[in-house]
Structure 1
Amino acid sequence: MAARPLRRVLIWTGIPALLLLALVLLWSWAWFIPLLERRAEAALGRPVQIGGLDVSLGRLTDITLTDLRVDNPEGFPPDPPFATVPSLRVRVDVMAFIRERRIVLPEIVIDRPRLEVLADAEGRNNYSFPALSGEGEGAEPAAEPGPAPQVGELRIAGGEAHVALAPLRADMRLTAETEHPEGQPSRLRVAAEGRYADQPITGELLGGAVLSLRDADNPWPVELSLQNGPTRATLRGTLSDPLRFAGANLRLDFSGPDMALLMPLTGVPFPPTPPYRVTGQLDYAAGAVRFTGMEGTVGRSDLNGDIAVEPREGTRPLVTATLRSRRVDLDDLGGLIGASPGDAPRRPSGAARRERVLPDTPVNMPKLQSADVRLTYDGAQILGQAMPLDDLHAELAITDGAVALKPLRFGVGRGRIEIGLDAAPAEGGGLRTKAQISFQRVDLSRLMGVTPMGEGQGAIGGSARIETQGRSVAEMLGRGDGGITLGMAGGNLSALLVDLSGLRLGNAILSALGLPDRTRVQCFVADLGLRRGVLSTRTVLIDTEDAVISGRGDINLARETLDYALRTEAKSFTIGSLPADILIRGPFRDPSVLPDPVELGARGGAAVGLGIIALPLALLPTIQLGIGEDKRCEGLARRAR
C-alpha cells in the first residue's frame, strides 16, 4: 500500500519536472516569431517577415531580430521591399516597466538597414501606413496614445536608402551612420546625392548624439547643408524634441538666383525673383512651420518679416506671410505679373524690337492652386529717380486658385493710386478677372518730374475698370472691356510741354530758357473707353490759360500699337505757331513722334513762299486767333461733346 502513494508522488512531481527539463532543453524563442509577425502585420497593414529572434534576459533585456523584412504595399513591385534589416537589437529596461509602467529603451542598434522609398506619378507611395493611424480599410480606430517610449542611444551602422518620388521629380541615394569619436559624444551623419526637382542635389546632415531624444534639458544639435541646383541652404541650431520638431532654435539661410526654385523645397509658391539671400529663425508650433525674423535682400530690395506654412491634410497648405521692405525696387516684383524680375538681360536690337512690352508669361495655374495664401506686404520707399511712386501696401489672398488683391495701394505725393482685383480660374483656361483702380489726389508734380517733358503741379483724380479673361497680363489687357476717366481742376503745367505739343516754336525756345516756365491749367479731362483691348478716345482735353490741347485716336493693347494725335489751339494771338497735329504712331516699344507731314508741309510751304516777297507776310500762316475762353471743366467737357 505504501508503494502506491510513492508512485503517485513520483508521477505528480516527476512528470512536470521532466516536462520542465524538456522545455528548458528544447526552448526556442523562434516559437514567438509567428506571433510577432502577425502583430507587426496588423500594426503596419502589410506583410512582415522575421528570420530569427533571440532574447537575453536580465534587468536590461536584449531583444535581437534578424533578417527583418517589411514588404511593399499592393501596386508596387515585391523587390526590393520597403525595408530590410539584417540585425535589429533593442535593449529594454524591464524594471522601469514593472515599477513605473514606463517603456525605457536605453539602446537601439540597427545594422545595415536598407530602405526603398517610392512614390509614383499618381501620388501612391510605399511609405504611408494607414493602419497605424486607424485609416486603413477595416482598421480599428486608433486608441489614445500612451506615453512615448524613452529612447537612450540610437546606433546605425551602414544605413542606406533609395528615394524615388515621381511627384517631386526626385531620385536620391542616402547614407546614414552614427559616429563615435573617441572622447566625444556620438553623432549622426546623413549624406544625400542625386536629383531633386530635376536638378542635382547634394546634402549632409550632422546631428548630435541620439541620446534622450525627448529630453528638453539636452537639446539635440543639428547642422544641415544643402545644394539643389543653384539654390543653397544651411540650417544650424538645436532641437529640444527632434521627433516632433519642437523646441527648435534653428537658423536657416537661403540663397540662389530665383526664389521660384524654392517651391519644391518649401511648398511655398514663390513668384520669379532676381538673386536673393535671406536668413531667419525656423520653428514648428501650433501645427505650422514658421520662418520668423526673416531678413535679407531680393535684387535691390531688402526683405523682412515672417512666413508660416500650415500643412492641411486632404487640401492645400495655408501660407501666411507678413512681409515688409524699407526700400523696394518694383522691378524686383515683376515676376508677380509675369514680367522679367530685376535687371533682365538685354537682347540684341532686332530681338528687342520684336519682344512684347506687356508681360506675356502665362499664369502658372498649378502653382496658383498649390497653396492658399494670405499675404500682407508693405514697401516704405520705392526706389528709382524715374519712379513717381513713393510707397506701397498690398493685401493678397489666394483660395483654391482664386485671387483677391484688396487693396494694392501706391502713395504718390499726398495722393494715392488704389487697385482692387478679383480673379478666378476660367473654364477656357487662364483667369477671369475684374479690376477697379481709383486715382485719389495723385500729385502731378510726382508724375511729371520723372519725364523729360516738363514739370507740373496739381492733383489728378479718377477711376478705371476692366473685365477680362486670359492666361497672361498681356492677353487679359488685349481682351479687356472697361474704360478710364481722369480729371484735374486747377494746377499748372510746364509751358515747354504745352508749347511743344503745338510746335509753337518761339515760346518753346523761351520755355526751354525758363521764360516762362509754367502755364496755368484750368481743367484737364480724359475719358477713354476700352473695348476688346482697344482704348478709344472719347475725350482728352487740357485747358490752359493760353491754349487748349486735344487728343484723339486709339491705343491697341492687343497689338501693342499707338495711333494717336495731339493738337494745340491758341486762345489768343500767337506768332511762331505751326498748329499741326503731333502724330504718335507705331509699336509701344519704339513709337514715332512727328508732326503731321501733310498739314505741316502746307503751312510751312506757304510761309517760305511768302517770305520771298516780304518777311512780315511770312508770319501770316502761323497766326492763330483765339477761340475764346471757358475756364470751367463743365464747359470744357461740353465743348468736347
Structure 2
Amino acid sequence: MGILAILIVILILVWQWDWFVPYINRKASAALHRPVSIAHLHVRPGLKTTVTVDGLKVSQPQGFEKEKDDFASARAITVTVDIWRYLTGSGLSLPLIRVDAPRGDIVSLINGTNNYTFDTASQTSAQNSQTSGTPLPKLGKLEINDGDIRLALAKLKTDMHVLIHTEAPRNGDDGHLVIDLKGRYAQAPITGHIVGGALLGLADATHPYPIDGRLANGPTYVTLRGTVDDPMHFQGTNLALHFAGPDMSLLYPLTGVPIPQTPPYSVTGNLAYSNRAIRFQKFEGHMGSSDIGGDINVDPHQKPIFVEAALHSHSVDLADLGGFIGAKPGENTKSEPASSRVLPDRKINVPKLNAANIHLTYHGDHIRNKNWPLDNIDTELEVRDGAIDLKHLTFATGTGTISATAGLEPAQDEQFRTRFRMEVARLPLSRIMTSKDMFQGNGTIGGHVTLKSTGNSVATLVENGDGGATLVLDHGGDVTALLPDLLGLKLGSAVLSALGIPGRSKLECLVADLPLRSGIVHTNSMLLQTGNTRTMGTGTVNFHKDTLDYAITTRSVGPQILSLPGAVHIFGAMKSPTVMPGAELIGRVAAAVGLGIVFPPAALIPTIQLGVGRGSACEKAILEANEHPAAGITPGKTTGPGPASVPHTPPGANKHVSSSQHHLTPKQVRKAWKEKSNPK
C-alpha cells in the first residue's frame, strides 16, 4: 500500500495532460480527413472542469497545399463543463466557451472545388447526431477574441476578411458581438461594421436580438437597424433596411436579385422574413428624379429564386426607367454615336435572365417629361426560365391610350425570339405635337402595330420581322405643319411641294395600312385627304438596305379644277431620299398611276372606329374613296386589259382581283419619269 501510495504521488507530480496530445491529433485528423494538431492540453478537474487546448492547427486538405495559411487555427480554446449538473441528470452545461485568436482560410476555386467540404461520411454522422434527438447543451458565456476569417471565393470574385470579437457587458447589457469586413467583394472594395447583441442572444427567442450594421460595397451603401425576435429562424423582425448608390444593378451580388441599370437611388423599407420569403416591405425613396416605392418578396428556396415585386411611383420620369428596356437610364439618345442605320442598332441588354423568376407590377401616377406626351404608366411583367412575358404596358395620354404586349424568348447568339403588339386608341395628336413644340390641333390617332421576329436590336428585329402597322389620323390640322414634322423638315417639305397640296390645307384623314414581310414594308393602303385633295400612295420600304421606293399621286376631291401634278416618285436611302416630281403623265399611264394606287378597303373601318371613334373623317373618306373615286373611275374599272405599260390580266383570271395587282412597279415608274424628262 505504501508503494502504491508513493506511485500515485509520483504520478501526480509528473502527470502531463500533453501525453494525450498524439492520441487527440490522430483521432481528429482521421475524423476531418486533413492534418490536425494541438500543441498543449490543459485540464483543471473539479465539479466544473475546464479544458484548454493551445496551438490548434487544422491544415489545408489535398489540393490546397499551396495556400500560405492553415485551413483553421486558434491560439487557445477553453471550454468549462459542469460535471455535477451532468451527473445529476440535468443535461450538459457549458458555462464558458472562449476562443482566442481564431483564424480561418475559406477558399473556393473557379471550378467549384473548395476546402470547406468535408468527407460525406463525416457529414452524414454529423447530420445523424443532429437529428437523433440529443438536446443541445446549455451555454453560458461565449467569448471570441481577435478572430480573423478569410473568404476567397473565385466565382463571386471575392477576397475579404471577416474580423470577429465579442465585447464585455457594460451599462447593464449582455455584451455585444462585433463583426468588421474589409477586402473585396464582387470585384469591388467592401467595408462593413456590424454590432449585434451578445452571442448567446442568437439562441434566445425570449428576448429581441439587436442589430446595427452598415456596409459599403464599392459605391453601394447599406444600413440595417432594429431587432429580431428569433434570429436563428429570422422571424419576428423589426428591421429598417436602407439602400443607396449610383445604380441598383450593383445590388445583385449583395441580394441575389437581378435589377436592370438605374440612375442614382436611395430607398428605405422594412425587412422581414415570413412564409419562407424574405420581404422588403413598404419601402419608399427616389430613383433619379422619380420617386419609387412598394413591396418586394424573395423566395430563395426556389431554383432559380422567385421575386415578386409590386412597385409604384407618384411622379416618374420615363428616362429613369431606360434600364428596363435595355437602354442606359436617363441617357440622351442625341448624344449616342451616329449610326448608319435608320433604326436603333444598339443591342437590347436584358441582364441575368436566368438568375431569377420574376413577377413585376408597376404603376406610375404621373409622367413628368416634356418629351413624352403621356399621363401615366401601368405595366405587368413576368420572367420565367429566361423568357420575358410583357403582359401589358399601358400609357394614358389625354383621352387616349397606348397599350403594348410583348414576349422575348432567348435564342442562339444572344438573339431573342420576339412577339410584339401595340394598340393606339383615341390618342390626341395635340399631345404629340405639343411635346415637340411644333403644333397644336385636335386630331386623333388610332391603330395597331404587330411584329414577330428574331434579333437583338430594334434594327435586326424589324429587318427579320413579319407583321405590320395600321395607323389612322383623323382631323390632323394643318398639313404644312404636320408632314414636315412627321417625315422630317427636308423630306416633308419636298413631298408637299411635289404633291401640289395647297398651303394651309387642313388634314381630314390619313390612313396607312402597311404589312411587314421579311423586313420589307409593303402598302395595302395609303390615303391622305384634305378638304380639297385626296393623295394615295404605293411602294415599299426596305429595312435591310434602309431604302424606300414609293409612288404618290394627288387628285381633287370636289368638282373644282385644281392644277395638280402627276405621280411623285420617292426613292433612295431613307436618310436622304430623292423626290422626283413632274408634269401630268399622258393617257392610260397617268390613269394607271393615279388609279392603280390602292384604295383603302372598307375592312379598315372597324379599326378606324376603334382607334379614333365612329363617324370620323377617315371613315367617311374610305367610303367615299371606294364609292366615288377622285378621278371618276372605280377601282374595278381598271382591271381590264390596257396598253403595254399596264400589267395585263390573263384570260380567265378572276375579274374581281384587287387593283393592287395592276400597280406600276417602281421600275416602271422610274422608266416613265425618265421618258418624260428626256423626250426624244
TM-score using structure 1 length:
0.77
Tell me the alpha carbon deviations over residues 461-485 of structure 1, each in whole angstroms, 9 at most, x when there is no partner.
33x3322222344433332222222
The aligned amino acid for 2:374 is L
CA distance in 2, matches of 1:289, 1:332: 26
1:599 paired residue among 556, 581, 584: 581
**C-alpha spacing 1:100/1:247, structure 2 compared with 1 (3 Å):** farther
- Aligned-partner Cα distance in 1 for 2:307–2:544: 35
Alignment of 1:100-499 (within 5 A): 101-129=90-118, 131=120, 134=123, 143=131, 147-180=135-168, 183=171, 185=173, 186-312=175-301, 315-344=303-332, 347=335, 351-352=337-338, 358=344, 360-363=346-349, 367-451=352-436, 452-458=438-444, 460-462=446-448, 464-487=449-472, 491-496=474-479, 497=481
CA distance in structure 2 between the aligned counterparts of 1:582 and 1:390, rounded to whole angstroms: 40
Q: 1:311-367 deviations in whole A, cap 9, x for unaligned?
A: 237x3222221212222222222222222211448649xx446698626135456x1
Shift of residue 49, structure 1, vs aligned partner:
3.8
Specify whether residues 58 and 557 from structure 1 end up closer, same or farther in structure 2 by C-alpha distance, changes over 3 A only.
farther
Cα deviation 1:266-323 (Å, max 9, x = unaligned): 111111111111121223333332211121111222211112222237x322222121
Deviation of residue 112 (structure 1)? 0.8
1:494 is displaced (CA, Å) by 0.8
Cα distance in 1, alignment partners of residues 120 and 154 from structure 2: 24
SS at match of 1:631: helix
CA contact (8 A) 2:262 2:323 kept: yes
SS of 2:581's equivalent? helix
Q: 1:579 to 1:393 in 2, by over 3 A?
A: farther
Indicate whether 1:538 and 2:538 are aligned.
no
Distance verdict in 2 for CA 1:189–1:443, change over 3 Å: same
Distance in structure 2 (CA, Å) of the matches to 1:344 and 1:98 = 77
Q: Give 5+ residue unaligned stretches, structure 2.
A: 485-491, 585-598, 600-616, 627-633, 636-658, 661-680
State the distance in 2 between where 1:95 and 1:298 align. Answer: 62
Contact kept, 8 Å, 2:344 with 2:457, in 1: the verdict is no
Secondary structure of 2:447's match? strand
Return the alpha-carbon distance in structure 2 between the equivalents of residues 461 and 446 of structure 1.
17
Q: Which moved more, 1:409-418 or 1:396-405?
A: 409-418
Cα shift readout 1:436-491 (whole Å, capped 9, x = no counterpart):
333445455544543424423346133x3322222344433332222222346xx4
SS of structure 2 residue aligned to 1:77:
coil
Deviation (angstroms), 1:146 = 5.0
CA distance in 2, matches of 1:147, 1:252: 35
Q: SS state of the match for residue 372, structure 2?
A: coil
Output the CA distance in 2 between the equivalents of 1:528 and 1:457: 21
Mapped contact 1:519–1:544 kept (Cα < 8 A)? yes
1:223 deviates by 2.5
CA contact (8 A) 2:106 2:149 kept: yes
Matched residue SS, 2:205: coil
Sequence identity (%): 37
Shift of the alpha carbon at 1:121?
0.9
What are structure 1's unaligned runs of at least 5 residues?
1-9, 512-517, 604-626
How far apart in 2 are the matches of 1:36 and 1:304? 58
Q: Deviations over 1:251-270 (max 9, x none)?
A: 22222221111111211111
Distance verdict in 2 for CA 1:467–1:89, change over 3 Å? same
In the TM superposition, what is the alpha-carbon distance from 1:111 to its structure 2 partner? 0.7
SS of the residue aligned with 2:252?
Answer: helix
Give the CA deviation at 1:570: 3.9
Corresponding residue for residue 624 of structure 1: none
Evaluate the alpha carbon distance shift between residue 575 and residue 482 of structure 1 in structure 2; reply closer, same or farther with a 3 A threshold: closer
Greater mean alpha carbon deviation, residues 50-59 or residues 268-277:
50-59
1:85 aligns with 2:70: no
Q: Residues 382 and 158 of structure 1: is their aligned pair in 2 closer, same or farther, counting only changes over 3 Å?
A: same
AA matched with 1:480? G
Moved more, 380-389 or 48-57: 48-57
- Give the 3-state SS of the residue equivalent to 2:419 in structure 1: strand
Letter in 2 for 1:252: L
Are residue 76 (structure 1) and residue 61 (structure 2) matched? no
- The change in CA–CA distance for 1:216 and 1:454 in structure 2 (over 3 A counts) is same
Partner AA of 2:131 in structure 1: A
Q: Secondary structure at the match of 2:412?
A: coil
Work out whether residues 520 and 545 of structure 1, in 8 Å CA contact, stay in contact via their aligned partners in 2.
yes
Deviation at residue 193 of structure 1 after TM alignment:
2.3
From the superposition, tell whether residues 184 and 558 of structure 1 become closer, same or farther in structure 2 (CA, over 3 Å). farther
How far is the alpha carbon of 1:577 from its aligned partner?
7.4
Secondary structure of the residue that 2:374 maps to in structure 1? coil
Q: Is the 8 A contact 1:306 1:322 kept in 2?
A: yes
Residues in 1 aligned to 2:325 and 2:371: alpha-carbon distance in whole angstroms: 20
SS of the counterpart of 2:522? strand
Contact kept, 8 Å, 1:478 with 1:559, in 2: the verdict is no
How does the TM-score come out when normalised to structure 2?
0.73
Q: Distance in 1 between matches of 2:109 and 2:426?
A: 57
Change (3 A) 1:593 1:476: closer
Q: Relative to 1, partners in 2 of residues 1:180 and 1:568: Cα closer, same or farther, differing over 3 Å?
A: farther
Letter matched to residue 407 of structure 2: D
Q: Distance in 1 between matches of 2:121 and 2:232?
A: 17
Letter of the 1:172 counterpart: M
Distance 1:428 1:127 in 2: 37
How far apart in 2 are the matches of 1:17 and 1:558? Answer: 106
Q: Counterpart amino acid of 2:463? A: G
Aligned-residue RMSD, C-alpha: 4.1
Q: Which amino acid aligns with 2:517?
A: R
Displacement of 1:102 in angstroms is: 4.9
Change in 2 beyond 3 A, CA 1:298/1:428: same
Deviations 1:196-246 (A, max 9, x none): 222222222233333432223433332222222222222222233344444
Q: Secondary structure at the match of 2:225?
A: strand
Q: Size of the alignment, in residue pairs?
A: 582
C-alpha displacement of 1:114: 0.9
Conservation of the 8 A alpha-carbon contact between 1:150 and 1:212: no
User: Compared with structure 1, are the counterparts of its residues 179 and 293 closer, same or farther at alpha carbon in structure 2 (3 Å cutoff)?
Assistant: same
Cα–Cα, structure 1 residues 216 and 576, in superposed 2: closer, same or farther, change >3 Å?
farther
